[in-house]
Amino acid sequence: MDNLKEKAFQDKIDQDTRIEPKDWMPENYRKALIRQISQHAHSEIVGMLPEGNWVTRAPNLRRKVALLAKVQDEAGHGLYLYAAAETLGVSRDDLIDQLHTGKAKYSSIFNYPTISWADMGTIGWLVDGAAIMNQVPLCRCSYGPYARAMVRVCKEESFHQRQGYEILLTLSRGTEAQKQMLQDSVNRWWWPSLMMFGPSDSDSPHSAQSMAWKIKRFSNDELRQRFVDACVDQARILGVTLPDPDLKWNEERGHYDFGEIDWDEFWQVVKGHGPCNKDRIETRVKAYEDGAWVREAATAYAEKQAKRKEKVA
Ligand code: BYC
């Protein structure tokens, strides 16, 4: 019976029919989605921290307003994604608990420190740039609620990428010290940005199945290559050097060749031993605890309203 259901399910996927929450789905499809969507949601929420760190130190009011708005957008992305995960039968409290107890993964990139203002520009250019490359295909993901959430996320990410690039353009036309700050920032963020796409295809345990289910539309290496190809001209316009001596155009492949990623560093960070993993989780837990009174007040108000409605009825 399940075999028949599974065949009908795969036929739907092959015909690009969206799967919706109440449709039958294999248990492993549900689990794969909960895993990816929740990791994605956690990444958006933890992703607020490295930039939030600079809100009070933005160089002028316009920059401060834009940065604050970007960080708020990321909170919104986290909420759409938690809501999409909840349609699969998992509770938000459980997901948040997994993040706070260190059981859940989130993107490796957010475990690196933001030590200069240029990092706000570089995160927009490279980190949001990598995110867009990875996430635009997710708008065509086979699971409806995730795909629909991604449409809005991608529109906002695109705006973030441009505001980051504009920060860097301004620095690139500035003083020698500003140009150096820009180059130093790109030196630190280039390789971690390439790691955002995940392990090489040959070391990616989930890719084949996720692609067969059209959760992922392209492999980690395909998207990483597209990202490198897109960045080279953008770096040239900024007048920065990408820190990879092996980066060069390959006429035969029609792509840029690039150097070997330090996979030891990647797995160290993923396993919790990056420069900021501990600090990020501690800050996140504190923010959650400090916000308890807001959740309590909102719940008390909702309960009061519900009782009032009951009385009227
Ligand atoms: N960092 O078989 P694989 C953002 C894990 S937010 C940490 O290739 P998959 C933004 C992977 O989870 C950016 N862990 O897995 C926010 C798996 O572990 P488990 C987040 C990583 O799922 C604010 C194991 O390694 N974007 O853009 O097929 C401001 C094996 O990997 C990483 C998303 O989440 C990593 N970099 O492919 C600015 C997008 N890479 O679960 C920007 C949606 C891999 O077996 N997610 N791992 O314990 C995806 O597209 C896919 O999940 C990935 C990984 C490409 C990330």
DSSP-assigned beta bridge partners for residue 249: 256
Residue 270 near residue 102, CB atoms below 8 Å: no
CB burial of residue 139 (10 Å; 0-12, 13-18, 19+): middle
Could you list the pLDDT tens digit for every one of the 313 residues in the chain?
678 999 999 999 999 999 999 999 999 999 999 999 999 999 999 999 999 999 999 999 999 999 999 999 999 999 999 999 999 999 999 999 999 999 999 999 999 999 999 999 999 999 999 999 999 999 999 999 999 999 999 999 999 999 999 999 999 999 999 999 999 999 999 999 999 999 999 999 999 999 999 999 999 999 999 999 999 999 999 999 999 999 999 999 999 999 999 999 999 999 999 999 999 999 999 999 999 999 999 999 999 999 999 988 7
Q: For position 223, what pLDDT does the model report?
A: 98
Cβ–ligand 1 distance for 128 under 6 Å, the answer: yes
Residue 197 CA: nearest ligand 1 atom is 55
Cβ neighbors of 204 (< 8 A, separation 6 or more) are 198, 219, 220
Q: Is 105 in the pocket of ligand 1 (CB under 6 A)?
A: yes
For atom 52 of ligand 1, the residue with the nearest CA is 36
- Give residue 229 CA to ligand 1 midpoint distance, Å: 21
Of 33, 37, 38, 43, best ligand 1 pocket probe by most atoms within 8 Å of the beta carbon: 43
Question: Distance (Å, rounded) from C-alpha 163 to C-alpha 74?
Answer: 14
Q: Give residue 3's pLDDT.
A: 87
Global pTM value = 0.96
Q: Which of 39, 51, 98, 114 to mutate to test the pocket of ligand 1 (most atoms within 8 A of CB)?
A: 39
What was the pLDDT predicted at 313? 79
Specify the amino acid at residue 60.
N
